[in-house]
């Protein structure tokens, strides 16, 4: 059920993104199919399924097919440890946060292998960019998370949410949150960090050779990634499911808590889309330089200061 829900959300995000972008750019966006154009995604999906599924003869067939599976498998597996409401989750892993990092680090293979298997210069360049970018931003992502782990004293996501009952971590960990969010954008290679698929210079980057639903899987995988990073930010920094319960009974409380969690996640997704609408794309060397010269020292400093404060308060 959770799987179907996440896939539906990810698919409809494409519609949401197109409508929001249109709104911010003073146009209408897709508004013809169904009420408010809501069925546009279904129409797109049917179109994509009916297109020719072509594997180029010069490609490495096995790896070519494997690559789009990896991004979806790792992103969907990550949702296994996300608590949607107290007790509502697939598995309650003690080191849930590490599991998420492990899955996100395996996700790198998808783009890298797609770029290599396509046997195409543009795709290879896209794959190279993607692997360097995701490898380096993964470092800052995990380092910036450690501040939260220090304050909550646990790697378990439910425990981290419970530790935020007094104050959401977005206030004491504001630097860590900004770093995590920037790294999250780079991990999902979204604009402004979408250099692996920069269409102005690399055609479509690592997925240049992909057609039909294999391309669709990369597309959906990207939106699952956005949902995941937003859900994680909501969990780690904005108190997850916590919010006013309006004096509801025990039975109804999880629904309201899930509602709060979903609301926070969607606001963050909206922020992702707003970034796409408003930010220019940096040069590749600027991206890597920013990573190693600004993100790394800042995340280390954040970790150091958080550790010192936690130690002093004990």
Partner 1 sequence: MNTAFYIASAVAVFATAKVVTHTNPVHALLYFIVSLLAVALIFFCLGAQLAALFEVIIYAGAIMVLFVFMIMMLNLGTDTALREAQLFSPGIWIGPSVLSGLLLFELAVLFIQGEPQSASNAAMVSPKDVALSLFNTYFLGVELASMLLLAALVGGFHLGKRDQAEELPGEVK
Residue among 72, 112, 173, 257 that touches partner 1 (CB under 8 A): 112
Contact region for partner 1 (CB under 8 A) — 17-25, 44-52, 134-142, 257-265? 134-142
Contact region for partner 1 (CB under 8 A) — 32-40, 60-68, 79-87, 160-168? 60-68
Contact region for partner 1 (CB under 8 A) — 45-53, 92-100, 207-215, 279-287? 92-100
Q: Is 45 in the site for partner 1 (CB under 8 A)?
A: no
- Interaction with partner 1 in 153-172: which residues (CB under 8 A)? 155
Q: How is residue 279 written in tokens?
A: 């930010």
Between 16 and 228, CB nearer to partner 1:
228
Residue among 17, 44, 138, 187 that touches partner 1 (CB under 8 A): 138
Number of amino acids touching partner 1 (CB under 8 A):
28
Q: Contact positions toward partner 1, by CB under 8 A?
A: 60, 62-63, 66, 93-95, 98-99, 101-102, 105-106, 108-109, 112-113, 115-116, 124, 127-128, 131-132, 135, 138, 142, 155
């Amino acid at each position: 059920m959770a799987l179907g829900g996440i896939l539906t959300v990810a698919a409809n995000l494409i519609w949401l993104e197109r409508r929001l972008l249109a709104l911010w750019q003073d146009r209408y966006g897709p508004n013809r199919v169904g009420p408010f154009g809501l069925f546009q995604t279904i129409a797109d999906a049917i179109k994509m399924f009916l297109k020719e599924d072509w594997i180029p003869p010069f490609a490495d067939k096995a790896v070519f097919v494997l690559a789009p599976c990896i991004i979806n498998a790792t992103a969907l597996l990550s949702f296994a440890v996300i608590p949607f409401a107290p007790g509502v989750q697939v598995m309650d892993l003690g080191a849930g946060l590490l599991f998420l990092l492990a899955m996100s680090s395996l996700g790198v293979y998808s783009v890298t292998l797609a770029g290599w298997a396509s046997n195409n210069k543009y795709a290879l360049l896209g794959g190279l960019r993607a692997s360097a970018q995701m490898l380096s931003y993964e470092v800052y992502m995990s380092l910036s998370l450690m501040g939260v782990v220090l304050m909550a004293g646990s790697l378990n996501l439910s425990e981290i949410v419970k530790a935020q009952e007094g104050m959401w971590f977005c206030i004491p960990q504001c630097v860590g949150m900004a770093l995590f969010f920037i790294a999250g954008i780079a991990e999902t290679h979204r604009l402004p960090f979408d250099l692996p698929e920069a269409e102005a210079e690399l055609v479509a980057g690592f997925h240049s050779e992909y057609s039909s639903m294999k391309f669709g899987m990369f597309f959906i995988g990207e939106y699952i990634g956005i949902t995941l990073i937003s859900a994680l930010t909501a969990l780690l920094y904005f108190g997850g499911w916590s919010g006013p319960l309006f004096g509801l009974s025990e039975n109804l409380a999880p629904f309201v808590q899930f509602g709060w969690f979903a609301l926070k996640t969607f606001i963050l997704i909206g922020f992702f889309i707003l970034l796409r609408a408003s930010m220019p794309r940096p040069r590749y060397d600027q991206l890597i330089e920013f990573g190693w010269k600004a993100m790394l020292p800042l995340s280390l400093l954040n970790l150091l200061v958080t550790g010192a404060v936690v130690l002093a308060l004990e």
